[in-house]
Structure 1
Amino acid sequence: MVRNPAPQKCDILVAGGAYVGLVTAIAIKTGAPHLSVVVVDGAPDGRWKNDPRASAIAAAPANMLNTLGCWQDVLPDAQPITEMVITDSRVSDPVRPVFLTFEGEVKPGEPFAHMVENRVLNASLHRKAEELGIPFIPGVSAERFATHNESISVHLSNGKEYEARLLLAADGARSRLRDQAGIKTVKWDYDQSGIVCTVSHEKPHGGRADEHFLPSGPFAILPLKGNRSSLVWTERTADAERLVRSDDFVFEAELEQRFGHRLGAIRVEGPRQAFPLGLTLVREYVKPRFALIGDAAHRMHPIAGQGLNLGFRDAAAIAEVIVETDRLGLDIGSLAALERYQSWRRFDTVQMGVTTDILTRLFSNDNAAIRTIRDFGLGLVDRMPRLKSYFIKQAAGIAGDTPKLLQGQAL
């Protein structure tokens, strides 16, 4: 008779090794070095090294990354966003009037966001996790789990089993673990997809980001190091699929119509990808010995550029709750401890979800009356410095009840 091997033990198992899962593991291990943290990730080994995408890292998550010792490696390759310009027009309009501008600093010398290539940030996070001795197991996903009084058993796709005190699910928007936990969601699809690609251009961008509100959805131009920019181009799903499949000549011709000529001639670099867009909000963040973080807890339209930054806020909050609970000698997997995390994050997430949903519906149409109202509103905000300052702080993630790490304080 063949016996199953005894389960391996750890304090915390993180299922999902992308940004949010890795940052959470690093934050917990930094604040409580004696806790054993293991990260499993379903993606093949090293796939993150070839990720061609880039992400906007707001000021508060940058504070956290700096406090955790990860930002120093990233900063030389990070592009500060020094200005944000918003227009509202049709693709065929010869002129795109500017309705709203934001200066890109939350305070002198501190931009409200940086653009960072994914491979650069991933490399820094992996280096830090290795330095802290956090096991990272690629190509292996958490398949199922069973909760007990003092532990949670997690069965992996490689046949092994872990016995932990807490399972953190960072396994993405289609979280299998969320479904197994019986956590209900509120979700809908926008029938839009976001085309993501990188372009090089003839002239320097000067750190300026542009967001053009077009009838099919927002078209964002986000500056990268050098004469390069990252694009998030929203189209109706059928059109997005057609564009991604089209040849380079057709794609670049359509792109040039939306990009404009401010930065001279443009050329697409690397692959282009399309991702379906929708809204997903969970009804619960936690169960006994189980918590959701990142996209497993929320998925939003990129219109406000807050999806990843919300995940970083989850990471900062759950790490603070775990570390403080452990210091008090209490059970880090108890529902009483985890409910503090849930109450901390749920209102912020729902508020951002409602905001992005309203903005998406307001700006992804060509109704003349709605266009007049929204353009008047944008112009009004542009003439109100205090309101603009409030929006910048919200975008930077430094408003409200902010976890310590996001303020640049160690746990």
Structure 2
Amino acid sequence: MDNAGSAAIFGGMAHDTDVLIAGGGLNGCSLALALAQAGLSVTLVDPLPAKARGDAAFDGRSYALSVASTRALKAIGLWPQLADEAQPILGIRVSDGRAGQGPSPLSLTFDHAEIEDGPMGHMVEDRHLRPALLDAMAREGRLTQITGVATTAQEVDASGVTVTLSDGRRLTAAVLVGCDGARGPTAGRAGISRTGWEYRQTALVAAVGHERPHGGIAHQFFMPEGPLAILPLSGNRSSIVWTERRDRADRINALSDEDYLAVLRPRFGSFLGDLSLAGDRYTYPLGLGLANAFVADRVALAGDAAHRVHPIAGQGLNAGLKDVATLAEVLVEAMRRGEDIGRIDVLERYQAWRRFDVTTLAVATDGFNRLFSNDNAVLRLGRDLGLGLVNRLPGLRRGFIREAAGLTGDLPRLLRGQPV
């Protein structure tokens, strides 16, 4: 166990650590780093062994980071390590159609030149982002990482929270943050229930190579079975997030690489030339889930532990980083005022700041998926006309771009590129 530094006294007693984070995914790591940099002692507990966390093949995903998320990574010092591998997103094209028939002539195009903030975002691969986070965490003296161990119990009293680990250790903290995913146990132990459902859809995820350059353009092609996102990576490569009905996705994923590509090509189209696989293939079942509360006594939830949305708008990690930025600001400001950071009235400031935005995102992504993932002729005509109408209204189109770039609403400091 690394030296965590001295924990402050909150709730009338000294704790082993100010903040204990359950879960070592990207959101948990980002939050741990931001809090430690701001002066809080942090302990992160991750059931994955250290070797698995650092494995470059651990996760095949790539992330469409918004402008605001990119600013947050700059503010916590990660961007210099990522900039050379990040691919700017210079435009987005949204279209509707069927596999093998091409897109409808009525489509929607977003161009980064319509806003003053540079590229609309950047594509960053997990194999670059995760090591950058782990390296930065290892250098932070106020941050302790415990790996290969799970949390098995939590007890809350007026002075703090006591967390029991699977190796028998017990740690006390002022606040416990659940970053342990949609099925993580932290929320349930805190008495927080969840509302949601499965979509009976699976995302097939892979990186593909192609003959022609993508020009930094991301494509969202809606088909009756589900959307196909084609997201530009560095070089002549793109990340695909290909949604299919779960039973069909299982059959596709079981195919050989060549047969997999044969099914993909009619959906992808020929605009980038011939395709080849540029890495391993992955699948992720899709669903919607929203915690009925984001906080309880001395407990807060962030990332997938608080909300799970359809990847149709590529906002999953961006929403998680908004949680991170907001919770970090709430906790750090409370610390600086001498408040007990685990008190429910402090944590409710985080919930009030985030819950409406997250609920709106969940409703929007669910609605878009239901509207576009069908072959109803009336709905098809209506959505095609809608795409064409928005494309002809520059003011409305610019508003959508700013929303996707994460530049609207009351942004916490990290999302404005400022330290907490």
Letter in 2 for 1:118: D
Question: Aligned partners of 1:99 and 1:234: how far apart in 2?
Answer: 20
- Structure 2's unaligned 5+ residue stretches are 1-13
CA contact (8 A) 2:102 2:269 kept: no
The equivalent of 1:353 in structure 2 is: 362
What is the CA-CA distance between 1:84 and the residue it aligns to? 0.5
Letter in 2 for 1:327: R
1:120-161 Cα distance to aligned partner (Å, 9 max, x none)? 111111111112121222222212101011110101122211
1:264-292 Cα distance to aligned partner (Å, 9 max, x none)? 11011222121111110111000111000
2:252 aligned residue (243, 251, 257): 243
The equivalent of 2:16 in structure 1 is: 9
The equivalent of 1:191 in structure 2 is: 200
1:376 aligned residue (385, 388, 391): 385
2:25 aligned residue (12, 18, 25): 18
CA contact (8 A) 2:115 2:398 kept: no
Question: Aligned partners of 2:298 and 2:102: how far apart in 1?
Answer: 57
1:364 aligned residue (355, 368, 373): 373
CA contact (8 A) 2:237 2:278 kept: no
| Between 341-350 and 178-187, the greater mean CA deviation after superposition | 178-187
Question: Aligned partners of 1:284 and 1:204: how far apart in 2?
Answer: 45
Question: Aligned partners of 2:336 and 2:17: how far apart in 1?
Answer: 18
Taking the TM superposition and a 5 Å limit, the aligned residue runs for 1:13-92 are 13-31=20-38, 33=39, 35-48=40-53, 49=55, 50=57, 51-92=59-100
1:103 aligned residue (108, 111, 130): 111
3-state DSSP of counterpart to 2:107: strand
CA contact (8 A) 1:106 1:396 kept: no
Aligned CA distance change for structure 1 residues 46 and 398 (closer, same or farther; 3 Å): farther
What is the CA-CA distance between 1:52 and the residue it aligns to? 2.7
Matched, 1:285 2:294: yes
The equivalent of 1:4 in structure 2 is: none
| Between 383-392 and 85-94, the greater mean CA deviation after superposition | 85-94
CA contact (8 A) 1:198 1:229 kept: yes
Question: Aligned partners of 2:24 and 2:154: how far apart in 1?
Answer: 18
What is the CA-CA distance between 1:176 and the residue it aligns to? 1.1
The equivalent of 1:3 in structure 2 is: none
What is the CA-CA distance between 1:8 and the residue it aligns to? 7.9
What is the CA-CA distance between 1:95 and the residue it aligns to? 5.4
What is the CA-CA distance between 1:87 and the residue it aligns to? 1.2
What is the CA-CA distance between 1:108 and the residue it aligns to? 4.0
CA contact (8 A) 2:187 2:301 kept: yes
1:75-131 Cα distance to aligned partner (Å, 9 max, x none)? 110000111011110113155535100013574462121100102111111111112
Question: Aligned partners of 1:237 and 1:219: how far apart in 2?
Answer: 15
Taking the TM superposition and a 5 Å limit, the aligned residue runs for 1:166-245 are 166-245=175-254
Question: Aligned partners of 2:32 and 2:289: how far apart in 1?
Answer: 24
The equivalent of 2:8 in structure 1 is: none
Question: Aligned partners of 2:72 and 2:32: how far apart in 1?
Answer: 13
Q: Under a length normalisation based on structure 1, what TM-score does the superposition of the two structures give?
A: 0.95
Question: Aligned partners of 1:160 and 1:98: how far apart in 2?
Answer: 60
3-state DSSP of counterpart to 2:167: coil
The equivalent of 1:115 in structure 2 is: 123
2:327 aligned residue (311, 318, 323): 318
- Structure 1's unaligned 5+ residue stretches are 1-6
Aligned CA distance change for structure 1 residues 23 and 94 (closer, same or farther; 3 Å): closer
3-state DSSP of counterpart to 1:89: strand
CA contact (8 A) 2:60 2:281 kept: no
Question: Aligned partners of 2:102 and 2:271: how far apart in 1?
Answer: 13
| Between 232-241 and 63-72, the greater mean CA deviation after superposition | 63-72
| Between 156-165 and 302-311, the greater mean CA deviation after superposition | 156-165
What is the CA-CA distance between 1:249 and the residue it aligns to? 2.3
2:411 aligned residue (378, 383, 402): 402
Equivalences, count: 403
Question: Aligned partners of 1:95 and 1:373: how far apart in 2?
Answer: 15
3-state DSSP of counterpart to 1:171: coil
Question: Aligned partners of 2:384 and 2:32: how far apart in 1?
Answer: 44
Q: Under a length normalisation based on structure 2, what TM-score does the superposition of the two structures give?
A: 0.93
Question: Aligned partners of 2:117 and 2:289: how far apart in 1?
Answer: 36
Aligned CA distance change for structure 1 residues 288 and 94 (closer, same or farther; 3 Å): closer
Question: Aligned partners of 1:115 and 1:186: how far apart in 2?
Answer: 31
Letter in 2 for 1:45: A
Question: Aligned partners of 1:234 and 1:300: how far apart in 2?
Answer: 14
1:146-194 Cα distance to aligned partner (Å, 9 max, x none)? 1011110101122211111110000011111111111111101111111
Aligned CA distance change for structure 1 residues 178 and 226 (closer, same or farther; 3 Å): same
Aligned CA distance change for structure 1 residues 344 and 69 (closer, same or farther; 3 Å): same
* C-alpha RMSD of the superposition: 1.4
CA contact (8 A) 1:85 1:98 kept: no
What is the CA-CA distance between 1:13 and the residue it aligns to? 0.5
The equivalent of 1:154 in structure 2 is: 163
The equivalent of 1:255 in structure 2 is: 264
Between the aligned residues of both structures, percent identity stands at: 45
The equivalent of 2:7 in structure 1 is: none
Question: Aligned partners of 2:104 and 2:248: how far apart in 1?
Answer: 23
